[in-house]
């Protein structure tokens, strides 16, 4: 597989963020997001601080800003939903910049955009600085059941295989003048999905047999991750501790 263990969201690097043990990064992401979610949305300044923390991490990890901005496109459907809220929301209506909008709707829109964006950028930073096997190993260290991690391991390996197969089928269909339009074409999409499944499954069987013949016995060997040092734990805790202080302050001075 060309590209080795890299995936679309990963940015190769050797920064301090890249080198942190993955389970600490996953835990730090979880704690940071919890801090963001419990922050009252009326504390606008707090979200400014969170954004600042994320910028600091991104700079320390040497992740280029355009990369993060491109990945944020995934948020668009919910931003569209959020932008609708002020106009369809409930009373009381207020006037903002010449437009009459719903006050609860406006607050809800701000909540979704602010918290959603902070969580999204934090997740992008984790994926950008951690390779797939490391994220899986990190999840395992955080007591995610082994079966889940094993299935996830196979899944991320098969994704490229299946996506490649799908791309070849699409090229073949396009070359024969096929163009999907709407519901009427559902049957074509459905049968090609069926063919895709059979092809992928039979490839999966061959992969399984190949692995068995090379000594696979149900688990992948892990190259004993070194336990985290005190300094690493301290480094990983910096951002969550700051975020929780901000969340607490915002709660108190509300």
Partner 1 sequence: MHIPDGFFNSVTSAGAGVAAAGGLGVALKQAQAQLRERHIPLAGLVAAFVFVLQMINFPVLPGVSGHLLGGALAAIMMGPAVGVVVVTVVVVIQAFLFADGGVSALGLNVINMAVVTTLAGWVTYRLVRVPLRSTRRSVLAAAFVASVVSVVASAAAFVAEYAVGGVGGVDLTAVGLLMVGVHVLIGLGEAAITVGVVGAVLSTRPDLVYGARDLDSASAAGRLSNRRFVLVAAAVAVALVGLATVASSNPDGLEWVAQQTGFAADATESVTAESPLADYGAGGLGSGAGTIVAGLAGLVTVSGVGALTLAATRRRRQAH
Contacts of partner 1 in 55-94 (CB under 8 A):
71, 74-75, 78, 85, 88-91, 93
Is 109 an interacting residue with respect to partner 1 (CB under 8 A)?
yes
Is 210 an interacting residue with respect to partner 1 (CB under 8 A)?
no
By three-state DSSP, how is residue 101 classified? strand
Is 17 an interacting residue with respect to partner 1 (CB under 8 A)?
no
CB of 116 or CB of 229, closer to partner 1: 116
Distance (Å, whole) CA 135 – CA 143? 13
C-alpha closest to that of 230 among 22, 80, 24, 2:
24
Distance (Å, whole) CA 153 – CA 136? 7
What's the min distance (Å) between Cβ of 230 and partner 1? 25
Backbone phi, psi, residue 91, to 5°: -65, 160
Assigned token pair, 183: 């519901």
Contacts of partner 1 in 180-209 (CB under 8 A):
180-184, 186-187, 189-198, 200-201, 204, 207-208
What's the min distance (Å) between Cβ of 97 and partner 1? 19
Give the Å distances, CA to CA, from 10 to 18, 21, 148, 213: 10, 16, 22, 32
What's the min distance (Å) between Cβ of 120 and partner 1? 6
Q: For partner 1, which residue of 49, 126, 137, 235 counts as binding (CB under 8 A)?
A: 126
Residues 6+ apart with CB under 8 A from 194: none
- Binding segment for partner 1 among 55-63, 159-167, 228-236, 238-246 (CB under 8 A)? 159-167
Distance of CA 97 to the CA centre of its chain: 35
Is 122 an interacting residue with respect to partner 1 (CB under 8 A)?
yes
CB of 13 or CB of 116, closer to partner 1: 116
With beta carbons less than 8 A apart as the criterion, state whether 7 and 132 touch: yes
CA quadruple 208, 209, 211, 217: dihedral sign: positive
Q: For partner 1, which residue of 51, 60, 62, 104 counts as binding (CB under 8 A)?
A: 104
Contact flags string 235-254 toward partner 1, x per CB under 8 A: --------------------
- Binding segment for partner 1 among 12-20, 105-113, 223-231, 232-240 (CB under 8 A)? 105-113
Count CA atoms within 13 Å of residue 195 on its CB side: 12
């Amino acid at each position: 597989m060309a590209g080795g263990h890299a995936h679309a969201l990963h940015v190769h690097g050797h920064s301090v963020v890249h080198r942190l043990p993955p389970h600490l990064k996953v835990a730090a992401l979880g704690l940071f997001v919890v801090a963001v979610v419990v922050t009252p949305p009326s504390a606008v300044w707090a979200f400014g601080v969170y954004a600042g923390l994320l910028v600091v991490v991104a700079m320390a990890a040497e992740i280029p800003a355009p990369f993060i901005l491109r990945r944020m496109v995934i948020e668009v459907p919910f931003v569209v939903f959020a932008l609708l809220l002020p106009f369809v929301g409930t009373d009381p209506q207020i006037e903002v910049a010449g437009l009459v909008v719903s006050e609860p709707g406006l607050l809800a829109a701000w909540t979704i955009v602010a918290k959603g964006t902070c969580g999204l950028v934090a997740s992008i930073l984790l994926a950008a600085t951690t390779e797939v096997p490391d994220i899986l190993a990190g999840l395992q260290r955080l007591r995610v059941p082994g079966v889940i991690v094993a299935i996830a391991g196979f899944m991320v390996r098969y994704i490229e295989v299946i996506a490649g197969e799908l791309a070849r089928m699409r090229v073949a269909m396009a070359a024969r003048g096929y163009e999907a339009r709407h519901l009427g074409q559902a049957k074509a999409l459905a049968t090609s999905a069926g063919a895709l499944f059979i092809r992928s499954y039979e490839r999966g069987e061959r992969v399984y047999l190949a692995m068995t013949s090379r000594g696979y016995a149900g688990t992948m060997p892990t190259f004993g991750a070194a336990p985290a040092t005190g300094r690493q734990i301290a480094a990983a805790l910096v951002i969550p501790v700051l975020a929780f202080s901000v969340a607490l302050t915002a709660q108190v001075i509300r």
